[in-house]
Chains A and B, each alone.
Chain A
Amino acid sequence: MGKVTGFKEYARELPGKRPVEERVNDYNEFVGLFSDEKLNQQSARCMNCGVPFCHNGCPLGNIIPEFNDAVYKEKWEDAYRILSSTNNFPEFTGRICPAPCESACVLGINKPAVAIEEIEKHIIEIAYQKGLVIEKAPLIRTGKTVAVIGGGPAGMAAAAQLNKVGHTVTLFERDEKIGGLLRFGIPDFKLEKWVVERRVKLMEEAGIIIKTGVEVGKDILADELLKSFDAVVLAGGSTIPRNLNVPGRELKGVYFAMEFLKQNNKRVSGIPYSEEDILSTDKDVVVIGGGDTGSDCVGTSNRHKAKSITQFELMPVPPKDRTEAMPWPTYPMLLKTTTSHEEGCTRMWGVNTKEFLGDANGELRALKIVDVEWETDVFGRPVKFKEVEGSERELPAQRAYLAMGFLHPQKQGLLEQLGVELDERGNVKAKEGQYKTSVDKVFAAGDMRRGQSLVVWAISEGREAARRVDLFLMGTTALESKDAESMYAF
């Protein structure tokens, strides 16, 4: 442990952010870096707990106490080695992860948690700076070929891991570039795209074959895929968004969040697109859905200079602090004010959209909304709602973005052709920890298997699935798992 009494001496601090008025004028990241001294102090807050709950809270099993210690001691090489032993892409999670590790941090019982995510970001950025991040093509190839379908974080992680142990990996991506939601979902102001490009370049240097603009299931059919590769990893994500099937849904001006965000990311990166522009400029914008995607719509709309921005959430206002129903160290559903919220928006809770109202041109004019009342269980958790009588009203809006999450992967195409069994939610059926689908030599990882989730889970699934694939191909594996690998397995 860096400093035994660090947690008593230093308070949690985060790096400064560019002021709102400045940052809404561009798409650049706005979170700064710690000074050396601050970084040292923040890492000193780690208590190197006997039971590091953070390490358990992290879906990747990041060995947080060890890297905090290395940061405190300025052992950058060690810090990087420890971090990269569990996480292929800390530069992503260090920026956009909701940090379940911090929710589990023991210091969080009675003090603000250790700034783990920021420390993670610093480690990887310092590692890049110092030239520690080197990916080399493996010396010996196994002669086995693996197709990874989907260039999102799960597919990238799986590809990186499989390549590391010498398999010849082809990563298929139907979009122009790989990265998935990292590339086309998350706005640049949260994750600048050079960060993704930098990683992609390394992966290419390491010998991963990346094929973009190829939609497997359409451009390459399943049979051919199975014939050409010794194993297949399905990592296509959960791409079918949840719709709001109310009257007026067809109106112009009502979009899925992902339509809006993807186009904007292409625009910022100068990637041509063929659809009509979706802009919030000078519009009254309503974002339906209170999650991170909704926030991204808010932030992007602010940068578009929207006239007004309102964000809806069906659920009631969450509590500010942990309740008995969400005790430490669980990940609590608390009222979260994101950086996008800081930039300005009206937030409404317990609101249901009854109808989209259009004008004569078929363009969105307003939303018909109603307040809802929630019934709660003994722990105060909302379970059932009913409309508040007489609260129905109209809210003027010319743009509505539906950010209500994703339902399941796209079945049409590859999944249908493969005939993989799906689970009751429509995801590819494969047991966590095994990742094997009902079809021989086909594995599934990430949102495609798990359903929509966090980037950190996608990376974790990609890694773990890769390990299983390696075991499948070789009968043994040198790839690490996040959990203890039993000696009995051998």
Chain B
Amino acid sequence: MKQTGNDQQGLYRPEFEHDSCGVGFITNINGHKSHQTVSDALTILESMEHRGACGCDPETGDGAGILMQLPHEFLMEECIALDIHLAEPGYYGAGNFFFPKEITAKEACRSVIVNAAEKLGLPFLGFRKVPVNPSVVGPTALAVEPDVEQVFIGRPANLVSVEDFERKLYVLRRLITKSVADIVANGSDFYITSLSARVMGYKGQLTTYQLRQYYLDLQDTRLTSAFGMVHSRFSTNTFPSWKLAQPFRFMAHNGEINTLTGNLNWFYAGIRSYASSFFSAEELEIVLPVIDKNQSDSACLDNVVEVLVHTGRSLPHVMMMLVPEAWDGNEAMDPLKKAFYEFHATMMEPWDGPAALTFTDGKQIGALLDRNGLRPLRYATTSDNRVIVASEAGALPVDEKLITQKGRLQPGKMLLMDIVEGKIITDDEIKTKIASSQPYAEWLENYKIKIEELPEPRVAFTNLSKDAVHKYHQVFGYTREDIETIIKPMAVDGKEPIGSMGTDVPLAVLSDRPQHLSSYFKQFFAQVTNPPIDPIRERMVMSLATFIGSNGNLFDEDKMHCHCVALQQPVLTNTELEKLRSIDTGMFNAKTLQTYFKADGQAGSLQQGLERLCRYAEDAVNDGFEVIILSDRALDSQHAPIPSLLAVSAVHHHLIRKGYRGQVGLVVEAGDVWEVHHFACLLGFGATAINPYLALETIHALKEEGQLETSLEFKYLSKNYIKSVCDGLLKIFSKMGISTLQSYQGAQIFEILGISKAVVDKYFYGAVTRIEGLGLDEIAKETLFKHKNGFINKVPALLAEGGIYQWKRRGEAHLFNPQTVHLLQQATKTGDYSVYKNYARVINEQDEKKYTLRGLFDFAHHRESVPLEEVEPASAIMKRFATGAMSFGSISHEAHSTLAIAMNRIGGRSNTGEGGEDEMRYELLPNGDSMRSSIKQVASGRFGVTSYYLTNADELQIKMAQGAKPGEGGQLPGDKVDPWIAKVRHSTPGVGLISPPPHHDIYSIEDLAQLIFDLKNANRAARINVKLVSKAGVGTIAAGVAKAHADVILIAGYDGGTGASPISSIKHAGLPWELGLAEAHQTLVRNQLRSRVVLQTDGQLKTGRDIAIATLLGAEEWGVATAALVAGGCIMMRKCHLNTCPVGVATQDPELRKLFSGKPEHIVNLFNFLAEELREIMADLGFRTINEMVGKAQFLKVRENNLHWKTRTLDLSAVLYPVTNPNKAQTLYNSESQDHGMANIIDWQLVEHAKQALESKTPVFGSFNVKNTDRTIGTVLSNEVTKIYKAAGLPDNTINYKFVGSAGQSFGAFATKGLSFELEGEGNDYVGKGLSGARLAVYPSADSSLVPEDNIIIGNVALYGATSGELFVRGQAGERFAVRNSGATAVVEGVGDHGCEYMTGGRALILGKTGRNFAAGMSGGIAWIYDADGTFAENCNPEMVDLDPLTGEDEEQITALLRKHIQLTQSHLALFLLSNWNQESGKFIKVFPKEYKKVLQHAQFQPAN
């Protein structure tokens, strides 16, 4: 169904849209219906307004809705007036329908409904117009407001149960929807909110407050329900859409399905096998394909839930199938449950991604969290039989006395209420029941095939001869670099190689070196709308398990489902492959197909080869094979191998189209697979398992020739290699936030750059390709180029160099090469503009060789030129420049401060990078220069992010991703953390530091909005900049970020430099900025958000021409990093990660730092040159100011001499699509400021009340009532303290405030020294985030009768990035307590999963249970655990920590903390422990990071300094 205004224009695609949100429900456990429950549900919704969003028009929300029981009494009364007679509940169905307003279309829809009901034999009862109040709705939503009417359908007598009736209603809904789409013109607004005998939903494109006001029914006290499930939507778009609002028919979803494409494909893949006894063939025909096109991920999930429920599974069962817990490798899991999950894994992959799901079928209502617990869900039960569940605690004010339990949903867990039976069913209870409904374990035991147990192969594998290896290398395009830089380290060290300084080689489609097909595929990565995962520290949620064989009939449950080959990981050794090739269980066989095409260079040859292959594959399925092996081994001089990626994807999609794919496993035996990215592409496009025979053979040959510096035998080398492939795969999945291989398979998590739409639509169906590119014949040509090399007598017989990671004359071209580096350094050193122009000419004139997309552009003149003098001066333009975010640590102090001085001299901005900044740089130098970086970066590691740091910024940049390794974290090994770096990063010298892949306070767009709010509170004078990396869909993300109130959005290119990054990430993840910037600009303009934000871009910007193009594509500010470093002496060693930079730029080695020769003048010269060149272009094009130039893409055109056979296939019109301004008032550049919503925050009262403290350090006291909408309490106050008292803050206990109630998110964020806050009640997520010296105490309400230590009191991610201060919590905290704490001290009475993750300093005293994976990545600080029942060890991740007994010193510290805890929170538990110290002290465990211990021990032997 097409949505108004959602058509594809320029680079924007509707499918890029994301949403996220707040969810919640309230239910009466006994099924008692009341209007109060409905009203309470709406109140919950309204308390989550800040989790939703509104766009350019503040009155238009992104969507809100409620799902409740069918309000029978109300409907019956209403219908009487309409002369519609409703039977008893269960004997009729009803639902809210959206009709097009246009009368003909509306009538047509109405008759479709009547006819469809008749066709299915269901009595049509009538329509009821739903009374609404359109005056409350914003103009944008109003413009597309549908007519809402209720439809009533009777239950015919032949349907004996409500379930059967629900099924029929489902078929009816499908039939109506399909028929409207088929036959009603202008029917695209038609939508069925729900149609059920049990539930009914009201929703629309509304804000949370509007829902109640808009639907008059909801205000009617006769309308009752036992539950109300609500949802508030925050979408990255603002295009009007009523039907995208949630809840859907069975569920509401807060989160994101990362693997949607794959899930949909797999669902369609099995369609031929689908059959159900609950549906007739005709009915099934109506129901299929089940999932509607062009809807959100959540809506798709709802469709699948629905069909699985209607085909006979219970709702909780279905939820367990779709969103399973992390079972693979979980030794502690009940075997029964594990068998359930494994059995279901053989037929369906997880719908993977962060998710808080609420669901109901009208009888049961429940909630479920994803395996990683990445969305918050808090709940409370009351003595009056209510259960309240919501994204935030305190969403519905409840008398504390009534509360019987406060909890949070844990990762992978389910909470279920059966309102028919009137009880709460625990996670354990329901899962055990479902897991025992069939003998799953027995089925697995008997039918699952284990590869290691298969008989020896019938045919033995033989090694390729040395000459053959060489020939194969040539044919598949291996280079010396591939072997040296990639394969060798993988085999010898078992690790993926690391590189630095980004990439400046041409995109695959621009390169004149023969490319691997997968080089056209760019990995997607998580950014803002979902978090990446740490595959190392959070390995427990990751899985590489997969199954080869048939998926079977999804609508059925049969033991033969699991008759397939189980693999621990997808890389097959030669022996394993041969076993598989020979497999014969009596009902399970494999077929090998050769993937070749005729190497005659004729047009169509490759297509013929593919068609033959697909035909054979289809035959193989029809002939009953369960496995197809696609092999390219049998190549010869006349027949070239089809690139394996193309072969696999072609067969995969062919079989999906035929509905056969689910019946076979696709195994690839290919020579052109050696680096991790190759494996990822194959898996992403449908391969089940891969045998990289030539890569393995290469290792074998290297070993035989003595080319490897190791004594390891081949067996171990190949094991290493496979291990590094697996680790690399996990990293690639986790970049996108995907946890399991099964979900990744076929998920097509790539954007294709440079392959034609025709090829993609046929062979890579559903993948994104936006600039056209090679057709099949061009792909064949490139393949044959390599093939030919293998069959001519090449002398001497060296493989090609590669030259991707290092410049080589015969290798790939680089923009920074000996000539350009020299010219740039010469120009900036001498200040000679003519030398600069020579440099710029070499870079700009991409005539012979193309390097970049912008190299294909030319300026188009539409105006008279203007005299150069009339163009705004370079001095003004230079203020728009920034340097890149490079941390002190990745580059030397000398290089870092030289950049800062230069930028301060020109009024531009330098960036701290993520490593903090030495406070001494805030003071001016004697000559008036300043080393202070204007931009302070806030990255996932939060190193050195204190109130003082934030206060000293003109701009705060949230790094969501970085170009060189989007979706990944980083690691600074201990030996690089010298005392200076440690001081700046608030860590311990010698102790390693880890930056997590995600910001642990940003798992979704509404979380980002929260962090922006936090930072704005921390320094309201600073612009908030959100750094994104270019990718398909970055435009919609940018729109979301603009709606989250960022002031600046930076779109970084994929090619940017970095200290260290896996080389596959440098090359294969992210897109050029040209695409991302153009998409962001286009989308922001379309959404009328452009004028609210500054758009900035960076990524290998090297010349004024680059900057002119960036400006025309929409950027009004620009970042230049690599070129600035080169001007400062960098000679592109690409050895930053080795600390051996010979020119003192990227090293901390004191000897090498002395060799730094850069001067601020050199860098100033560079920026001056860039600005001057830009001015010349402006004058030529007729622009006097930058502002008038921004976003005028029509001043660009594609070069006329673009004649090369590869590049001429490109179509860049989408990039150059000139967006028109839909609203005259809106400018194409930033011209208005964001409303940060700070006008009415509680902090103004706090500041006012603290006047005396601020002026004279006089202690002040105060008490304030708070609710969950009072967010980020104390942060503005801290900013005010810091402005005056700098890092030192105020004396202890100067500002003493007590808060009563449920505090909103980020209570006490960045709170500084001298603040002492008490919170009586409860906190939400991020309590004490970035704590900078304050003391926080949280304890339950005095009215509460709960046992504090058994109940949750604060949410997730408390103390994230705290540097100092104290937190005392009487009660339990959620997941990731004290994550990345580097100095704060905390006492808490229990924590969730991943406690103290990545902690580098501080102390955590935990007086209760911890969740799983405690201390993952913890390199410093100490945690003490009161392990009363001796179960702690199994929950601890022992990789980096020792579990030690207490020392005397520990005991002293613990008892002191206990005393303080009692004093501040009146903790009974602490009192008990202190009183029984002698007997309880033995139950404490000290969690002592190994590295930290070593450093401390070492320090003990050092003389005191």
Within 1463-1487 of B, Cβ neighbours of A (below 8 Å) are at none
State whether B785 touches A487 (Cβ < 8 A).
Answer: yes
A51 CB to nearest B CB, Å = 4
What B residues does A333 contact at CB under 8 A?
none
Q: Which residues of A contact B1138 (CB under 8 A)?
A: 4
B795: contacting residue among A61, A73, A164, A324, CB under 8 A: A164
- Within A464-490, the residues touching B (CB, 8 Å) are 476, 478-488, 490
- A484-B512 contact in complex given A51-B814, A51-B1131, A327-B826, C-beta closer than 8 Å: yes
CB-CB nearest in chain A for B803: A484
Q: Which residues of A contact B785 (CB under 8 A)?
A: 487, 490
How would you classify the secondary structure of chain B's contact residues: helix, strand, loop or mixed? Answer: loop
- The stretch of B220-228, B397-405, B817-825, B909-917 that contacts the partner chain: B817-825
Q: Does B792 contact A (CB under 8 A)?
A: yes
B795 touches A165 (CB 8 A): yes
Interface residue B468 (Cβ < 8 Å from any Cβ of A): no
| B residues near A485, Cβ cutoff 8 Å | 810
**Contact (Cβ within 8 A) A55 B809:** yes
- Answer whether A50 and B809 are a contact pair too, CB < 8 Å, given A8-B1140, A75-B707, A488-B512: no
**B849 surroundings in chain A (CB, below 8 A):** 486
Whether, in the assembled complex, B798 has its beta carbon less than 8 Å from a beta carbon of chain A, the answer is: yes
Nearest B-chain residue to A484, judged by Cβ: B810
Q: A8-B1151, A484-B810 are in contact. Are A478 and B795 (CB under 8 A)?
A: yes
Q: How far is the CA of A61 from the CA of B811 in the complex (A)?
A: 11
B1133 at the interface (CB under 8 A from A): yes
- For A490, the closest partner residue in chain B by CB is B785
Q: Does A278 belong to the interface (CB within 8 Å)?
A: no
The residue of chain A having its C-beta at the shortest distance from the C-beta of B1152 within the complex is A8
* Cβ B818 vs Cβ A53 within 8 A: yes
Q: Main SS of the interface on chain A?
A: loop
Complex Cα gap A7–B1151 (Å): 12
Chain B nearest CB, measured from A446 CB (Å): 20
Asked if A482 and B810 sit within 8 Å, CB to CB, the answer is: yes
Evaluate contact between A47 and B809: CB separation under 8 angstroms. no
Q: With A478-B793, A490-B785 as known contacts, state yes or no: A50 contacts B513, CB within 8 Å.
A: no
In the complex, chain A residues whose CB is within 8 Å of the CB of B514: 487
**A479–B810 Cα gap in the complex (Å)?**
13
Contacts of A78 in B (CB 8 A): 707
**Smallest CB gap from A49: residue in B:** B1133
A334-351 at interface with B (beta carbon < 8 Å): none
Determine whether B829 belongs to the interface, using a CB cutoff of 8 Å to chain A. Answer: yes
A107 with B1142: in contact, given A75-B707, A481-B810, A482-B809 (CB under 8 Å)?
yes
Contact B794 A47 (CB under 8 A): no
Complex contacts, B1131 vs chain A, CB 8 Å? 49-51, 53, 106, 109
Q: Give the contacting residue for B513; candidates A81, A85, A476, A484; CB below 8 A.
A: A484
A1-18 vs B, CB cutoff 8 Å, 1 = contact: the mask equals: 000110110000000000
Chain A residues with CB under 8 A of B829 = 324, 327
Contact present for B794 and A478 (CB under 8 Å)? yes
Contact of A63 among B795, B808, B1134, B1204 (CB under 8 A): B808
Known: A4-B1138, A4-B1140, A50-B807. A81 touches B792 (CB 8 A): no
CB <8 Å contact, B1151 and A486:
no
Could you say which of A65, A106, A330, A487 contacts B1142, with CB atoms under 8 Å apart? A106
Give the complex CA separation of A73 and B702 in angstroms: 14
Complex Cα–Cα for A278 and B57 (A): 99
A49 to B1152, CA, bound (A): 16
Interface status of A438 (Cβ within 8 A of chain B):
no
B512→A486 contact, CB < 8 A: yes
Q: With CB as the reference atom, state the residue of chain B lying closest to A80.
A: B796
Query: Which residues of B are found within 8 Å of A324, using beta-carbon distances?
Result: 829-830
What residues of chain A lie closer than 8 Å to B798, measured between beta carbons? 81-82, 85, 480
Report whether B1142 and A110 are in contact in the complex, using a CB–CB cutoff of 8 Å.
Answer: yes
Residue B1250 lies at the interface, judged by CB distance under 8 Å to chain A: no
B1394-1437 with Cβ < 8 A to chain A? none
In whole angstroms, what is the CA distance A197 to B1239 when docked?
A: 91
**Interface check A308, CB cutoff 8 A:** no
Residue of B nearest to A7 (CB): B1142
Chain B residues positioned under 8 Å from A480 (CB to CB): 796, 798, 810
Give Cα A84 to B830, complex, Å: 39
Whether the pair B807, A51 counts as a contact (CB closer than 8 A) is: yes
Q: Which of B417-440 contact A (CB under 8 A)?
A: none
Q: Which residues of B contact A48 (CB under 8 A)?
A: 806
Please, how many angstroms separate the alpha-carbon atoms of A48 and B484 in the complex? 13
Chain B residue nearest to A482 (CB atoms) is B809
Q: Which residues of B contact A110 (CB under 8 A)?
A: 1142-1143, 1155, 1157
Q: Verify if A104 is at the interface (C-beta below 8 Å from B).
A: yes
CB neighbours (8 Å) of B1133 from chain A are 47, 49-51, 106
Instruction: Identify which of A61, A84, A165, A480 gathers the most chain B CB atoms within 10 Å of its CB.
Output: A480
When distances are taken between beta carbons in the complex, the residues of chain A under 8 Å from B794 are 478
Considering only residues 91-116 of chain A, those with a C-beta below 8 Å from chain B are 104, 106-107, 109-111
Report whether A484 and B813 are in contact in the complex, using a CB–CB cutoff of 8 Å: yes
The residue on A at minimum CB distance from B797 is A81
Contact B807 A329 (CB under 8 A): no
Q: Is A56 part of the contact surface with B, judged by Cβ < 8 Å?
A: yes
Closest chain A residue, CB of each to CB of B798: A85
What's the least CB distance linking B169 to chain A, in Å? 61
Say whether, besides A5-B1140, A50-B1135, A81 and B1204 are in contact (CB < 8 Å). Answer: no
The interface residues of chain A lying within 8 Å CB-to-CB of B512 are 484, 486-488
Interface residues of A in 46-74 (CB under 8 A from B): 47-53, 55-57, 61, 63, 65-66, 73
Which B residues are CB-close (under 8 A) to A4?
1135, 1138, 1140
* Complex Cα gap A246–B1452 (Å): 101
User: Nearest-CB distance from A373 to chain B (Å)?
Assistant: 27
Q: Are A109 and B1142 in contact (CB under 8 A)?
A: yes
Which residues from chain B contact A107 at a C-beta distance below 8 Å? 1142
User: Given A51-B814, A164-B795, A478-B795: A329 and B822 within 8 A (CB)?
Assistant: yes
B799-843 interface mask toward A, CB cutoff 8 Å, 1 = contact, 0 = none?
001010111111111101111011001100110000000000000
Tell me, yes or no, whether B501 is within 8 Å of chain A by CB: yes
Are B810 and A61 in touch, CB under 8 angstroms? Answer: yes
Instruction: Write the chain B residue with the least CB distance to A73.
Output: B709
Q: How far is the CA of A487 from the CA of B1204 in the complex (A)?
A: 10
List residues of B (1130-1168) whose CB comes within 8 Å of A's CBs: 1131-1135, 1138, 1140, 1142-1143, 1151-1152, 1155, 1157
Residues of B within 8 A of A111 (CB): 1142
Confirm or deny: B954 has a beta carbon within 8 angstroms of a beta carbon on chain A: no
CB–CB B811/A484 < 8 A: yes
**In the complex, what residues of A have CB within 8 A of residue B825's CB?**
327
Contact mask A129-140 → B, CB, 8 Å, 1/0? 000000000000
14 A–B contacts from the bound complex (CB under 8 Å): A51-B821, A51-B1132, A56-B818, A63-B801, A109-B1155, A110-B1142, A327-B825, A327-B826, A478-B795, A479-B795, A480-B798, A484-B513, A484-B811, A484-B813
Interface residues of B (CB under 8 A from A): 480, 501, 512-514, 707, 709, 782, 785, 792-796, 798, 801, 803, 805-814, 816-819, 821-822, 825-826, 829-830, 849, 1131-1135, 1138, 1140, 1142-1143, 1151-1152, 1155, 1157, 1204-1206
User: Lowest 5 A-B CB distances belong to which pairs?
Assistant: A50-B1134, A56-B818, A486-B512, A61-B809, A51-B807
Q: Beyond A56-B818, A61-B810, A484-B810: 14 further Cβ-contacts under 8 Å?
A: A8-B1151, A47-B1133, A47-B1142, A48-B806, A49-B806, A49-B1135, A50-B805, A51-B817, A52-B806, A110-B1143, A324-B829, A484-B513, A487-B512, A488-B512
